[in-house]
Amino acid sequence: MVVFDRKKNKTDVELFINCLMKNGKREKAYKLFVEALVFLSGLLKKKKLIESPFETLNKAIFKLKPNLKLCPYFFKKRRYYYPGLVSEFSSRGVAIRWLIKYSKYQRESSA
């Protein structure tokens, strides 16, 4: 069983649920998130790993986080790009969106 503490991981959980949510169906997205954590804990038990599903999720998000983005600036009616830093919160949001997008793509291609 997954021990779910909403206060401890509030920002990550809420951001993940908001990215999962479609048409304002927060409860459905929340149930889907909890089911995914239960499935992940089952996989971790099969592999005999001790870490919690939240730690695994945080590792995946940390590995996906972008550090740089391309920022445009205009000079003499032309657009040029320079590398800029991404804030911590913004990079976590992008990583979560990429994780959800890839999992949906993988599910559609396997079906």
pLDDT digits (tens, 9 = 90+) for 11-57: 778 888 888 888 888 889 888 888 888 888 888 888 888 888 888 88
pLDDT above 70: percentage of residues in the chain: 87
Find the farthest-apart pair of alpha carbons in the chain and give their distance in angstroms, rounded: 61
Residue 10 pLDDT level (bands cut at 50, 70, 90): low
Give dist(CA 77, CA 57) in Å, integer: 44
Tokens of 57: 């999720």
Cα-based distances in Å from 5 to 13, 28, 38: 10, 18, 14
pLDDT > 90? residue 84: yes
Tokens of 14: 């809420």
Three-state DSSP state, 49: coil
Give the pair of three-digit tokens for residue 68: 């740089």
| pTM reported for the whole predicted model | 0.74
